[in-house]
Structure 1
Amino acid sequence: MFRKMAAMKSNWTGKRTLTLTGALLAAISTQALSQTPADQAPAPQGQPGIPFSGAPLDADNQAVVDALTKQLMLRPYHSLDPVAARQQPTFTDGVNAVLRAQGRPTTPPPGTTEREISIPGAAGNLPATVFTPTGAQGPLPVVLYFHGGGWVIADRKVYAGGARGIARNAQAIVVSVDYRRAPEAPFPAQHDDALAAYRWLLSNAASVGGDASRIAFAGESAGGNLAVSTAMLARDAGLPLPRHILSVYPIAGNDLNTASYQDTSNGPTLNRALMAWFFRYVPRTPADLMDPRINLVGANLQGLPPVTIVAAQVDPLRSEGELLAQRLAAAGVPVQRREWEGASHEFFGADAVIRDAGEAQQWSGGRLREALYGTAAPGAAPGAAPQPQPLPPPTGARAGERG
């Protein structure tokens, strides 16, 4: 099950960039939606309708897609308005359906404790979940985590699997924040909230048992974008930089015609029509899609901390994530990218049923551990998790213990 890994070099010689003007992008987005009406929308593998023609999924990943489409009757997101789309079954619901079919519990696995807090955002308080490795003793490093969902749908609870996996494998406290979503709060509300959350964490890491001198960013999809863009904003604001960035299949560009958009145009968990739908609701005007906070591949990436990129083969965002790795390397930023064959967008948090997810969490968790701890604990094997230390009780933010 080994998947290809590329350590990008800083002497990248260049690729032709397919960055679009805002007007052209808006036209392409409208065309993508108009060519896939609700009754003929791209169908995931196993759902009646237009068959998926890309690379096959691994059987365990396919089982989740089948549960979503055949059992939970997932409808095309882009055929709905945002309010209705948020009521749809999620990839996590598909994972739980597979667990039930296997006679296994759907409760969170052992390895972390969780509590809910509230932190200040850019325009009011934001709910957040704190994941702490079970038995770990602090102060521990902290990973500020941003969920996916195209900045329009989903929340921290939908993406809790990825946050838990990072906490376990990095042996770090994870603070997962619910930023404001579009269209109720259009761009750049999400990016403003992410930076506000980081400002809060720099001053209040001790309130969650964390060490403010050892912070990393992580996120999936839209959250993978926020992990990188928030580091850019911190750099430009003169704030301390995080020690590392974990960006899992990030939204990194604005081009709907890359190679992966073509070979996964009707992908099983993310497709061109859905990305066009996100790009319809997120910006205030089409010009926002050219902003470097969204279009990371066109941004100034110099001076960022080391970056780890997790990629899925069956994902329309695959190509822009690869281009982001190349651009980071060209800017002198240490970066490693690893791609899992037979995996779909959204796979990362599904380690309960998808083997690739467990591998991805272990690999990226090890990268975070190395950045946050520097070396393994005394007497431990290289790459081993550090030994637990007593964790102080939480102070400051409002907290309620859970599980």
Structure 2
Amino acid sequence: MSDKKPNPVINAVSNVVAALRADDDQIAVAKAHESLEPEAIEKLTPEEARRQPTVADAVKKLLEQQNRSAVPEALVPGVTTRELTVDGATGPLAATLYTPAGQGPFPVVLYFHGGGWVIANRQVYDGGARGLAAAAQAMVLSVDYRLAPEHKFPAAWDDALAAYRWLIEHAASFGGDASRLALAGESAGGNLAVATAIAARDAGLRAPRHVLSVYPVTQTSRNTESYLENAIAKPLNRAMMDWFFTHVTRGEQDLDDPRLSLVDAPLAGLAPVTIVNARLDPLRSDGARLESALIDAGVEVARKEFEGVAHEFFGAAAVLEKARDAQAFAGERLRRSFAP
């Protein structure tokens, strides 16, 4: 066996635990992913890790097994896309604009993908961004920020704020309503969404109407209840989070920065926040801790925890019932904030 493959004993235990705790459709996604023979991210170089099969690949394979179309436009009818270039902190960033059916101008959600700030891109997270455009009846602008370790902390955070500045200035040019903006993201992107809201407040920029943070990274300890409970979970485990933090930070001091440790940031004055968590996820406690910190800061927040599903579930609405529920929940919260 390759030394880059998951440990067979730990892998077997993880599968047994998942069979007891996960929904049937979540188990089907996990089996499809495992059939693609992913290597252990924490044993790879960043370049190797970026070539690994993703949960999005597993969804596509599962749809094919079910004799269903995997074409994104068929999965989320009515949402169209176009490619844009957005100004980042040091240069242009590639972006995809998702537009729902209907008559604009539309509210606009700036969306940040996951991947631990090291792997993945906006294409991998198409399912979440596309589904949210339909659920929120809003344009969604999904941006590729710079990745570590080539661009270490705080490059991604600087790009996220620069992209928000660009959106404020240019939303009207593509049919967006610059008075109705929101920030959203998954995992590492969920962190970026909240961090950008804080940075925008501190810079005196127009505030977003809402912040959607899906299973975000909000602190840097790997000894929370959910990290210990889901230490060998799939598709995200504790060892992978160690790997991500090692590659994104310049040193131990970065782990205490409030852009990474959001629970220690000044949160007062932020727009309403929605947090989505999965039960079978090392980052579940991160979401709960952020919820508590926001309440203490007087920020309106709603957090919903979805049983029987794992990290990365949000974008898999084509095959996961709880993902459809989560997107509907997030969409309703956004629509409420966008209302006059």
What TM-score, normalized to structure 2?
Answer: 0.95
Please give the alpha-carbon distance, in whole angstroms, between the structure 1 residues aligned to 2:15 and 2:193.
Answer: 34
The equivalent position to 1:270 in structure 2, one of 226, 236, 245, is 236
Structure 1 residue 41: deviation in Å?
A: 3.9
1:172 to 113, 138, 142: 138
1:119 is matched by which residue type in structure 2? V
Residue 68 of structure 1, aligned match among 13, 29, 33 = 33
Tell me the secondary structure at the aligned position of residue 73 of structure 1: coil
Does the Cα contact within 8 Å between 1:42 and 1:76 map onto a contact in 2? no
- Taking the aligned partners of 1:249 and 1:171, their CA distance within structure 2 comes to 22
Shift of 1:48: 4.4
How far 1:50 moved relative to its partner? 5.8
Q: Indicate the SS of the match to 1:150.
A: coil
Cα-to-partner distance string for 1:126-152 (whole Å, 9 max, x where unaligned): 000000002x21111000000000000
2:301 pairs with 1:335? yes
Instruction: Give the drift of 1:38.
Output: 4.7
Whether the 8 Å CA contact 2:5–2:38 is kept in 1: the answer is no
Unaligned runs of 5+ in 2: none
Mapping of 1:128-139 within 5 angstroms? 128-134=95-101, 136-139=102-105
Q: Distance in 2 between matches of 1:237 and 1:369?
A: 26
Please state whether the residue corresponding to 2:93 is helix, strand or coil: strand
Distance change in 2, residues 1:51/1:113 (3 Å): closer
Supply the AA of the counterpart residue of 2:25. Answer: D
- Report the residue type matching 2:33 in the other structure: L
Structure-2 separation of matches of 1:51 and 1:95? 18
- Do the aligned partners of residues 240 and 52 (structure 1) sit closer, same or farther apart at CA in structure 2, a change above 3 Å counting? farther
Corresponding residue of 1:121: 88
Per-residue CA distance 1:87-129 (angstroms, 9 max, x = gap): 0000000000100000011101212000111111001100000
Cα deviations across residues 321-363 of structure 1 (Å, max 9, x unaligned)?
1010010000000000000000100000100000000000011
CA drift at 1:313: 0.2
1:183-222 correspondence runs (5 A) = 183-222=149-188
> Is 2:23 aligned against 1:58?
yes
Map residues 2-401 of structure 1 onto 2, 5 A cutoff. Answer: 38=4, 41=7, 47-48=11-12, 51=15, 53=17, 56-69=21-34, 71-108=35-72, 109=75, 110-134=77-101, 136-374=102-340
Counterparts of 1:250 and 1:41 in 2: how far apart (Å)?
27
Distance in 2 (CA, whole Å) between partners of 1:187 and 1:42 is: 34
Deviation beyond 6 Å, 4+ runs, structure 1: none
Structure that is richer in helix per residue: 2
C-alpha distance in structure 2 between counterparts of 1:331 and 1:372, whole Å = 23
Q: Could you tell me how far apart the structure 1 residues matched to 2:194 and 2:142 are?
A: 16
**3-state SS, counterpart of residue 230 of structure 1:** helix
CA drift of 1:206 comes to 1.0
Q: Cα RMSD (Å) of the superposition? A: 1.5
- Aligned partners of 1:198, 1:103: CA distance in 2, in Å? 40
1:39 to partner: Cα distance: 5.7
Given the superposition, is the C-alpha separation of residues 329 and 172 from structure 1 closer, same or farther in structure 2, using an over 3 Å criterion? same
1:121 partner amino acid: G
The CA distance in 2 between the partners of 1:39 and 1:95, in whole Å, is: 21
Contact 1:52 1:266 in 2 (8 A): no
User: Quick one: distance in 1 between partners of 2:186 and 2:100?
Assistant: 20
Give 3-state SS (helix, strand or coil) of 1:340's partner: strand
The Cα offsets for residues 266-307 of structure 1, whole Å up to 9 and x where unpaired, read as: 011111000000011001111111100000111111111100
SS in 2 for 1:168: helix
Which amino acid is 1:96 matched to? K
In structure 1, distance between residues paired with 2:8 and 2:155:
30
Alpha-carbon distance between aligned partners in 2 of 1:157 and 1:39, rounded to the nearest angstrom: 25
SS in 1 for 2:159: helix
SS in 2 for 1:216: strand
Choose 1 or 2 for highest CA Rg: 1
Identical amino acids, percent of aligned pairs: 55
Equivalent pair of 1:217/1:227 in contact (CA under 8 Å): yes
State the distance in 1 between where 2:9 and 2:222 align. Answer: 18
Give the counterpart letter for 2:21 in structure 1. Answer: P
> Structure 1 pair 171/42, CA: closer, same or farther in 2 (3 Å)?
farther
Q: Which amino acid aligns with 2:263?
A: V
Q: Is the 8 A contact 1:40 1:49 kept in 2?
A: no
